[in-house]
Amino acid sequence: MKEPVFSKATLGRLPIYLDYLRTGDHGEYISAAEISRALGLGDVQVRKDLNSVSGTGKPKIGYKTTELIAALESVLGRKAATPIVIVGAGKLGKALLDFDGFDEYGIKISAAFDVDKRLLCDRILPMDNFTNYCRLYDIHAGIITVPAACAEEVCDIMIKSGITAIWNFAPTVLNVPENITVCQENLALSLAHLTMKLRK
């Protein structure tokens, strides 16, 4: 069965549903209308989101609460978090390493790596250990937070180490094989778009 594909907006709402369902006593069944009223969201949107996760609820009854919670946990990876590594432990890399909001999406930043020995500590490891670490802990996703001049080399090391999904913060386009997924994050461009809206 093909895995459902969720939009960024939907993925942003799923943890909200899960947190709501985990708090209070909602009974054996809960409806999309009840959830939408409690969270201030549109009824149609909530129903569409929940159907994509758990299938259609029972007419006039809703979704079985325990099954809906389990389905949301499965989608968000709450049962088994996906481990991810960072290369580049400067200010941005360290901020991502310390950010605890990834837990909401079933993601765990397990370690960061850097060539600067002054930065090394329990969670920031030497770059020489990168490939062995990824293979030992079965890591398949990585974050690049190094200068643009180093990004391509880091990308090549990641791919050789078994990583197939990369979140790239370096301001450069990476050359990767077709089987590698890259999400390009340009912070300066995002801020430029925001300031352009202020001028309108």
Render pLDDT for 123-169 as a digit per residue (tens, 0 to 9).
999 999 999 999 999 999 999 999 999 999 999 999 999 999 999 99
Per-residue tokens: 194: 């925001």
How far apart, in whole angstroms, are the C-alpha atoms of residue 35 and residue 124? 41
Reply yes or no on whether the pLDDT at 193 is more than 90: no
Alpha helices, H only, the chain: 8-22, 32-39, 43-54, 65-76, 91-98, 130-136, 148-160, 187-199
Reply yes or no on whether the pLDDT at 111 is more than 60: yes
What are the domain boundaries of the chain? 8-76, 82-193
Phi, psi at 45, each rounded to 5°: -65, -45
Whether 106 contacts 55, CB under 8 Å: no
Q: What DSSP string describes 45-97? A: HHHHHHHHHH-PPBTTTBEEHHHHHHHHHHHHTSSSPEEEEEE--SHHHHHHH
Instruction: Confirm or deny that 141 is annotated as ligand binding.
Output: no
Instruction: Confirm or deny that 91 is annotated as ligand binding.
Output: yes
Buried b (16+ CB within 10 A) or exposed e, 137-148: eebebbbbbbee
Name the band, by pLDDT with cuts 50, 70 and 90, for residue 4. Answer: low
What was the pLDDT predicted at 1?
Answer: 43
What was the pLDDT predicted at 194?
Answer: 86
Superfamily of the domain at 82-193: NAD(P)-binding Rossmann-like Domain (3.40.50.720)
Across residues 60-79, what is the average pLDDT?
84
Render pLDDT for 167-179 as a digit per residue (tens, 0 to 9).
999 999 999 999 9
pTM of the full predicted structure? 0.71
Instruction: Confirm or deny that 90 is annotated as ligand binding.
Output: yes
Instruction: Confirm or deny that 58 is annotated as ligand binding.
Output: no
* CATH code of the region 8-76: 1.10.10.10
Q: Measuring CA to CA, how many Å separate 117 from each of 31, 79, 126, 144, 146?
A: 54, 35, 7, 18, 15
Percent of the chain topping pLDDT 90: 62
Name the band, by pLDDT with cuts 50, 70 and 90, for residue 79. Answer: low
Phi, psi at 142, each rounded to 5°: -145, 160
First-to-last C-alpha distance (Å) of the chain: 47
Per-residue tokens: 107: 């993601």
Instruction: Confirm or deny that 93 is annotated as ligand binding.
Output: yes
Instruction: Confirm or deny that 97 is annotated as ligand binding.
Output: no
What was the pLDDT predicted at 200?
Answer: 72
Question: Across the chain, what does the average pLDDT equal?
Answer: 90
How far apart, in whole angstroms, are the C-alpha atoms of residue 19 and residue 44? 20
What was the pLDDT predicted at 186?
Answer: 86
Render pLDDT for 29-59 as a digit per residue (tens, 0 to 9).
999 999 999 999 999 999 999 988 887 778 8
Helix, coil or strand: residue 4 = coil
